[in-house]
Amino acid sequence: MGNLYWTHAAMTATGYITDQATANAVSEAVEAACDARGVARFIAVRGMPIFSGPHAGAVFIPLDDISLDQRLMHEKMRDYPEFQQLVAMLGGLDARIDIDTQDLIDPTNNTEEQ
């Protein structure tokens, strides 16, 4: 009975396909938004390399609807004007895709089982 909760996890992640320069720009904008508000950099955007699949070589920025609905401080992430600007910069919410999470794993350096 104890292991009934074992189910297979979602195999996709939602976010943007972009390049490293854009990912860096988004990351710096989030840091600037934290700094401008005088708060710690408690959240960050860090692009993830895509190792395989149709977007191999590009950079993935995860941003799903659950994250958008998280409260940062007083408000949800999606309600901050800075995030709205960043989303617009990335092509809007409809530009997001669901990527196979296997495409985010480096096939040559899998350290999950040590």
**What is the contact surface with another protein in residues (CB under 8 A)?**
2-3, 5-10, 13-15, 39-46, 48, 60, 62-64, 66-67, 70-74, 77, 101, 104-106, 109-114
Token output for 8: 């297979």
Instruction: In angstroms, give the least distance from the CB of 17 to another protein.
Output: 13
Instruction: In angstroms, give the least distance from the CB of 92 to another protein.
Output: 18
Contact 96, 15 (CB under 8 A): yes
Closest alpha carbon to 44 in 21, 66, 27: 27
Quick one: 19 or 106, whose CB is closer to another protein? Answer: 106
Q: Which of helix, strand or coil describes residue 113?
A: coil
**Helix H or strand E segment including 33:** helix 20-36
Quick one: 27 or 89, whose CB is closer to another protein? Answer: 27
Instruction: In angstroms, give the least distance from the CB of 95 to another protein.
Output: 16
